[in-house]
Amino acid sequence: MTPPETPATAPDAAGDATPAVSSRLATLNRRADFLRAARAARVARPGFILQMHNRADGEAEGIRVGFTCSKKVGNAVARNRAKRRLREIARIVLPRAGRDGCDYVLIGRQGATATLPFGQLVRDLEGAVAKVHAPRPDPSR
């Protein structure tokens, strides 16, 4: 017996048009990638810190993202909850606001990432991505 097919026009239960898995986002796995992002541009927000590294032209295209929470965030349950929230805001914001060829690292903050309202985290990430990509003034002037 075969399972019934889902109609192609049926909206998902949440009514969100964002796909559950984005093909544009890859996950950072190597420590060297995290260290490269740590030396690059950063923006601090109340719920997280965003680091962004612009990869070289010869490297793979697409957006890559990494997540980290230190033990300062809390016990394993608190750290996992914070990382789940960071993954979700990245899934929502980065496909439309991020740029190809960039690595983003989201760092959870103690007492904030797991407790701030979700909408505020989304708005903060949108603003942080815009700020990190904004042209910087020329320091030689």
Residue range of the domain that includes 80: 25-132
Least confident of 18-27, 29-38, 52-61: 18-27
Write b or e for each residue in 67-103: b if 16 or more Cβ atoms lie within 10 A of its Cβ, otherwise e: bbbeeebbeeebbebbbebbeebbbbbbeeebeebbb
Count of structural domains within the chain: 1
Residues comprising the chain, all counted: 141
Residue 4 belongs to some domain of the structure: no
Bridge partner residues of 107 (DSSP): 49, 68
State the average pLDDT over residues 137-141. Answer: 67
Q: Would you place residue 124 in the very low, low, confident or very high pLDDT band (cuts 50, 70, 90)?
A: very high
pTM of the model: 0.77
Predicted confidence (pLDDT) at residue 39 exceeds the cutoff of 90: yes
How many angstroms separate the CA atoms of 33 and 102, rounded?
A: 11
DSSP string covering 52-88: EEE--TTSPPSEEEEEE--GGG-SHHHHHHHHHHHHH
Mean per-residue pLDDT, 55-71: 84
Q: What pLDDT shows up at residue 7?
A: 59
- Give the β-pairing of 25-27 and 41-44: unpaired
Residue 121 falls inside a structural domain: yes
The dihedral built from the CA positions of residue 90, 64, 56 and 69, taken in this order, carries a sign that is positive
- The answer to whether residue 59 sits within a structural domain is yes
Which residue in the block uniquely carries the two structure tokens 């109609």? 7
Q: What per-residue confidence (pLDDT) applies to 22?
A: 47
Residue 86 has pLDDT above 60, yes or no: yes
In a domain, 17, yes or no: no
CATH of the domain at 100: 3.30.230.10
Within-domain flag for 16: no
Banded pLDDT at 138 (limits 50, 70, 90): low
For residues 32-39, average pLDDT: 91
What's the confidence (pLDDT) of residue 8?
A: 58
Q: What is the mean pLDDT of the chain?
A: 84
Share of the chain above pLDDT 70, in %: 78
